Amino acid sequence: MAALVGRGVRDMLKRADFMTVPRRQRHKKKWAATEPKFPATRLALQNFDMTYSVQFGDLWPSIRVSLLSEQKYGALVNNFAAWDRVSAELEQLSARDFVNEAIFHGEPEPKNGQTAAPPPASWACSPNLRCFTFARGDVSRFPPARLGSLGVMDYYLMDAASLLPVLALGLQPGDTVLDLCAAPGGKTLALLQTGCCRNLAANDLSTSRAGRLQKVLHSYVPQDVRDRNRVRVTSWDGRKWGELEGDIYDRVLVDVPCTTDRHSLHEEENNIFKRSRKKERQMLPMLQMQLLAAGLLATKPGGHVVYSTCSLSHLQNEYVVQGTIELLANQYDIKVHVEDLTHFRKLFMDTFSFFPSCQVGELVIPNLMANFGPMYFCKMCRMT
């Protein structure tokens, strides 16, 4: 880190030097040719080193090395495939279903399709989800998903922490659900797996990404289930959703565009830290607030919203939540209550590392023993 900061300072000094040379003696071409060209991934790391070392203090070096290392995946079992056979195969690999382990606290899951009520306590989420992960410290990888005998893929590989916003949403049977920024569709698929959606609107502004979402749905969800759940895929600007369909959804997921911290450190393509995207990056918190406000306006009074990002930045996480709640109170006289999700830390402590001091919401931080996330999620109830 010190080396990076040092290099930044050296660059600034070089530029200052350049400014003192008389105009006619400047060799612009030579300068441009020798100027070090930073890849966007490097710019992302510089940015994170500056901001996250302040935000996370002593925790940052360990988060940093984890972000730069290979991430772990979870295998979300497709309930529309032969899920019991698929689960047995995943168990054979020594993976375990972290959702059911958390719900049943180590008690065996009921067999032969019987349903058992989850222990009451603070647990409030749809228990139909099955997601397998390898134990802490085990860096084994899952084989690629296969087409099963029922004509749909047997599991979906995703960052297992991405399931937490869906679990937090706590779907109940018969819910009307909106997934405002849905593509490429991992969370939409999980929402459908709960079997709770009376209807599901899945939206994404990008038509090409909405196309990818359609492909995921076709590969994983049989046509009759898509019809039964009245799945509707749209490609609208989510910021306008409150005006289009206000006060009607029971549950809304607002999984916003963000700095996608892990992706930004590894992929040049579509990297938001490219110099040309600086303005767009600076405007992200504003876009995120507009999307969350629209999600809350689309929710019925008494309904629930989960806001999520895969960024560590509190400017994109807690600040957006707090700013939006204030905005809704001032501009619309709408009261929003943040729900306590601290029990998630205890329930999922064997699988994920949580940041202990979020002001609102919960944050999964990457850890070498459990290299999932980052994933921030905050649950809100629209009161009026």
Ligand X SMILES: C[S@@+](CC[C@H](N)C(=O)[O-])C[C@H]1O[C@@H](n2cnc3c(N)ncnc32)[C@H](O)[C@@H]1O
Structure tokens at 50: 């500056």
Q: Which helix (H) or strand (E) holds 51?
A: helix 40-56
Name the minimum Å distance from CB 245 to ligand X: 14
Binding-site residue positions: 181-187, 204, 237, 255
Site membership for ligand X, residue 280 (CB under 6 A): no
Catalytic residue among 125, 310, 358, 378: 310
Sheet holding 131-133, edge to edge: 96-97, 131-133, 74-77, 155-158
Site membership for ligand X, residue 205 (CB under 6 A): yes
Site membership for ligand X, residue 136 (CB under 6 A): no
Structure tokens at 317: 């996480």
Beta partners for 197?
175
Name the minimum Å distance from CB 186 to ligand X: 4
Site membership for ligand X, residue 209 (CB under 6 A): yes
The owner of tokens 């139909």 is 128
89 or 216: whose CB is closer to ligand X? Answer: 216
Where do runs of H (alpha helix) occur along 204-317?
207-220, 223-228, 241-244, 261-266, 278-282, 284-298
Site membership for ligand X, residue 361 (CB under 6 A): no
Name the minimum Å distance from CB 85 to ligand X: 26
Structure tokens at 288: 């995120």
147 or 286: whose CB is closer to ligand X? Answer: 286
Binding-site residue positions for S-adenosyl-L-methionine: 181-187, 204, 237, 255
Name the minimum Å distance from CB 220 to ligand X: 13
* 8 Å CB contact between 81 and 154: yes
Q: How many residues bind ligand X (CB under 6 A)?
A: 18
130 vs 348: CA distance, rounded Å? 14
Known active-site residue 358: no
268 vs 369: CA distance, rounded Å? 26
Name the minimum Å distance from CB 235 to ligand X: 8
Kindly calculate the radius of gyration of the chain based on its CA atoms and give it in whole angstroms: 23
Structure tokens at 376: 């921030």
* 8 Å CB contact between 259 and 272: yes
Note if the bond before 184 is cis, omega within 30 degrees: yes
| The only residue of 182, 284, 336, 380 in contact with ligand X, by rule CB under 6 A | 182
CB atoms within 10 A of CB 168: 22
Site membership for ligand X, residue 204 (CB under 6 A): yes
| The only residue of 255, 261, 318, 362 in contact with ligand X, by rule CB under 6 A | 255
- Kindly tell me the sign of the dihedral angle through the C-alpha atoms of 346, 190, 76, 365: negative
- Here's the x/- map for ligand X, 230-249, by CB under 6 A: it reads as -------xxx----------
- The two beta strands, 249-255 and 299-309, are parallel
Site membership for ligand X, residue 181 (CB under 6 A): yes
Q: How many residues does the chain have?
A: 384
375 vs 364: CA distance, rounded Å? 5
Site membership for ligand X, residue 295 (CB under 6 A): no
Name the minimum Å distance from CB 272 to ligand X: 11
Q: Which stretch binds ligand X (CB under 6 A): 27-35, 97-105, 183-191, 270-278?
A: 183-191
Q: Which stretch binds ligand X (CB under 6 A): 96-104, 203-211, 349-357, 361-369?
A: 203-211
Site membership for ligand X, residue 135 (CB under 6 A): no
Q: Which of residues 25-54 bind ligand X (CB under 6 A)?
A: none
152 or 181: whose CB is closer to ligand X? Answer: 181
Structure tokens at 62: 């360990």
62 or 206: whose CB is closer to ligand X? Answer: 206
- The two beta strands, 197-203 and 231-234, are parallel
Q: Which residues are catalytic?
A: 310
The footprint of ligand X (CB under 6 A) covers 162, 181-187, 203-206, 209, 237-239, 255, 257
